[in-house]
Amino acid sequence: MLEVLAKNIYRLRKASGLKQDEVAERAGLSRAAYLAIEKGKANARSETLHKIAEAFNVSIRDLFIDPPELKSVRFRMKKITEQKRKAREQEIIKIALWLKDYNYLEKELGKKQDYRLAKIKEKDPEKLASKVREHLGLDANEPIKDIYEVLNAAGIKLHLAEMPMDDFFGASIGEENGGPAISVNVSKGISVERQIFTVAHEMAHLILHKESFRSEMFDDEPDEEKEADRFAGYFLMPNEEFMRALERCKGMHWFDAILTVKRYFRVSYLTVIRRLLDLGMTDNTIYQKFNSEYLRRYNVSLKNHQEPVALREPDTSSNNILVEERLHSLVREAVEKDIITISRAAEILNISRHDMNTLINSWKEINWKLN
């Protein structure tokens, strides 16, 4: 029990952004006494636990939850450090708890989704992209307007993560652990285009690399990453339509042509450049030329992960266009049917009790039962 309590307190403190001194002060403890609890070397009185829970804006229950173990997960990072390893471990716990709640709601409401891509057999990423589009009833060439609807149609759950790491974009969870599911990093600084690409990239892993879903694996497999990138590129930007879009830009400056095509398909400029390279329509100097042209036009350098003419600016708080719509819908139905309490609903949606009450009141603004 001490070990579970310690892990949860550490995870919740990290998630809240509080320092050890701050939590200790709020709990009325010395730093040494608090550290002993966080490290699992000492128990805490009931009053102290309530204060710690209040500091994290969670219930006492959250301090003692023993999360299910995720074994079928693909969560890779580059240059693993001890700090990154711990952050990864805590994020996997969050995903495990989220999946547990999600599957509970589906079961109680009788709304379990079928995973529709499990039986697709194709190893070539480009051909697979076409098959997935066909299987989901998508147009063979049209740009994808809503990647969330694609996931919903495929029976894949979407989890939104906020990890301030510039080398983690997403993870995927196999069917064995309550998935399939995809977790996308929506932290500030990660463009919407990158988030959309990550969803498609992780879809590829779910189909192509099932044998690589093991929680103990940390490092990227270069060949698998290339295959997933290739699938994502062709899934979001089918080649036939890409060529037509490019043809329409024939009289433009090459820089403007790249930006026009990228906006049309809702992808990164890098995705467009990679396709041009794949087709032999340019060479590797295009990267430097693009950066130089951007600097010439805007008098500022193109920073890492920055997206020119972005769908939404990555430094704004409203950067995220991905929303867990289905989970919100399940929570509402469960509340209205008295399957879960308002407090439990707030925990599942990771919001405060006050915000949950505000959300419930907002449901009354629209008459959903139209005749």
CATH code: domain of residue 32: 1.10.260.40
Q: Is 123 helix (H, G, I), strand (E, B) or coil?
A: coil
Is 314 contained in some domain? no
Query: Are 215 and 152 found together in one domain?
Result: yes
In this predicted model, which residue has the larger pLDDT, 82 or 361?
361
Per-residue confidence band for 220, with pLDDT thresholds at 50, 70 and 90: low
In this predicted model, which residue has the larger pLDDT, 252 or 11?
252
Query: Are 148 and 229 found together in one domain?
Result: yes
Query: Are 259 and 139 found together in one domain?
Result: no
Provide the residue range defining the domain that includes 267. 239-298
Query: Are 97 and 202 found together in one domain?
Result: yes
- Structure token digits, residue 233: 């590129």
CA dist 341 and 344 (Å) reads 5
CB-count exposure of residue 101 (10 Å: 0-12, 13-18, 19+): buried
Is 224 contained in some domain? yes
pLDDT in tens, 236-272: 999 999 999 999 999 999 999 999 999 999 999 999 9
Bridge partners (DSSP) listed for residue 170: 184
Query: Are 207 and 247 found together in one domain?
Result: no
Question: What is the per-residue DSSP string for 200-217?
Answer: HHHHHHHHH-GGG--TT-
Is 323 contained in some domain? no
CA dist 326 and 270 (Å) reads 31
Which residues, other chains included, contact 140 with Cβ-Cβ below 8 Å and sequence gap of 6+? 130, 133, 134, 238, 240
Which residues, other chains included, contact 304 with Cβ-Cβ below 8 Å and sequence gap of 6+? 166
Q: What is the per-residue burial (b if ≥16 Cβ within 10 Å, else e) of 296-305?
A: eeeeeebeee
Bridge partners (DSSP) listed for residue 181: 157, 173
Query: Are 114 and 203 found together in one domain?
Result: yes
Q: Which of 3, 2, 23, 8 is nearest to 60 (CA)?
A: 8
Q: Among 64, 96, 113, give the residue marking a domain's end.
A: 64
Q: Among 236, 260, 284, give the residue marking a domain's end.
A: 236
CA dist 184 and 75 (Å) reads 11
Is 334 contained in some domain? no
**Secondary element (H or E) of residue 247:** helix 239-248
- Structure token digits, residue 199: 């969803």
Per-residue confidence band for 126, with pLDDT thresholds at 50, 70 and 90: very high
Per-residue confidence band for 357, with pLDDT thresholds at 50, 70 and 90: very high
Query: Are 77 and 201 found together in one domain?
Result: yes
pLDDT of residue 222: 81
pLDDT of residue 371: 45
Q: Among 218, 236, 254, give the residue marking a domain's end.
A: 236
215-224, 275-284, 343-352: least confidently modelled range: 215-224
94: number of CA atoms within 13 Å, CB side? 26
Report the number of distinct structural domains present in the chain.
4
Handedness of CA 335, 322, 351, 88 (dihedral sign): positive
CATH code: domain of residue 153: 1.10.10.2910
Q: In what order do the strands lie in the sheet with 157-161?
A: 73-74, 170-173, 181-185, 157-161
pLDDT of residue 136: 95
